[in-house]
Amino acid sequence: MIKLSKIPRPLAGAIGLALICATALPSAAGATTATATLTAGSLGLVSAPSNPAFPSTALTGLNQSITATQTIDVGDATGSGVGWNLTATSTTFTAGANTLPTSSVTIASAPASPTCDSNATCSPATAAAGVTYPYSLPAGTTAPTATKMYSAAAGTGLGDQTLSPTWTLAVPAKALAGSYTSTWTLSLVSGP
């Protein structure tokens, strides 16, 4: 025990105050729990896919292949990590009464890994098994059943990201001159 009577008065007051404060302060140690609830968002195309613009090409009397790149902005905010797939179908390329073969449009190989959109720390999609390349875009007078054109493996594809497939249009030597158009329908579906 400290006897305050033998300690100089100003120092004795300071020691007494220190003892009172030491006994009055709560313990600094303690555990707290922080919580954050994240609810699932949606899976969908962030914006409409770009229109593939094949370049104007002069007929040569030989078979030709022309290419166009398309941008597809995918948004996976589900937080599920189950992956997703893009399906596609189209109508036949036509110019008046003239048509190109229904097997005219293909993707030669799996598109490169998507790039994260600005302000999105995404998990870029990795191509999953189940889509064979070259991929042939289904076509018909009436668009046939859509098929998978790209599949993101489970655990990938989270966040907003842009996929850029390069399409090839086969123009046969016997094609007739004209401005050909086709309507394409792309859909984003959950799961690889």
Residue 38 counted as domain residue = no
Cβ atoms of 156 and 73 closer than 8 Å: no
Give tens-digit pLDDT for 53-107: 999 999 999 999 999 999 999 999 999 999 999 999 999 999 999 999 999 999 9
Per-residue confidence band for 191, with pLDDT thresholds at 50, 70 and 90: confident
Find the range with the poorest average confidence among 10-14, 50-54, 160-164, 185-189: 10-14
Give tens-digit pLDDT for 9-59: 554 454 444 444 455 556 668 899 999 999 989 999 999 999 999 999 999
Per-residue confidence band for 175, with pLDDT thresholds at 50, 70 and 90: very high
Residue 37 counted as domain residue = no
Give tens-digit pLDDT for 138-150: 999 999 999 999 9
**68 and 93 housed in the same domain:** yes
Cβ atoms of 62 and 175 closer than 8 Å: no
What is the total count of domains within the chain?
A: 2
**71 and 165 housed in the same domain:** yes
**10 and 58 housed in the same domain:** no
Strands (E), 7-158: 43-45, 64-69, 72-76, 84-91, 94-95, 98-99, 105-107, 115-116, 135-136, 139-140, 147-152
**2 and 74 housed in the same domain:** no
**More confident position, 8 or 111:** 111
**Can you give the residue range of the structural domain that contains 21?**
1-30
Q: What average pLDDT does the segment 157-163 reach?
A: 96
Find the range with the poorest average confidence among 19-33, 122-136, 154-168: 19-33
Residue 166 counted as domain residue = yes
Query: How far is C-alpha 80 from the chain's CA centre?
Result: 13
**1 and 64 housed in the same domain:** no
**5 and 95 housed in the same domain:** no
Cβ atoms of 143 and 100 closer than 8 Å: no
**78 and 162 housed in the same domain:** yes
Ramachandran angles phi, psi of 88, nearest 5°: -145, 150
In this prediction, residue 188 carries a pLDDT of 95
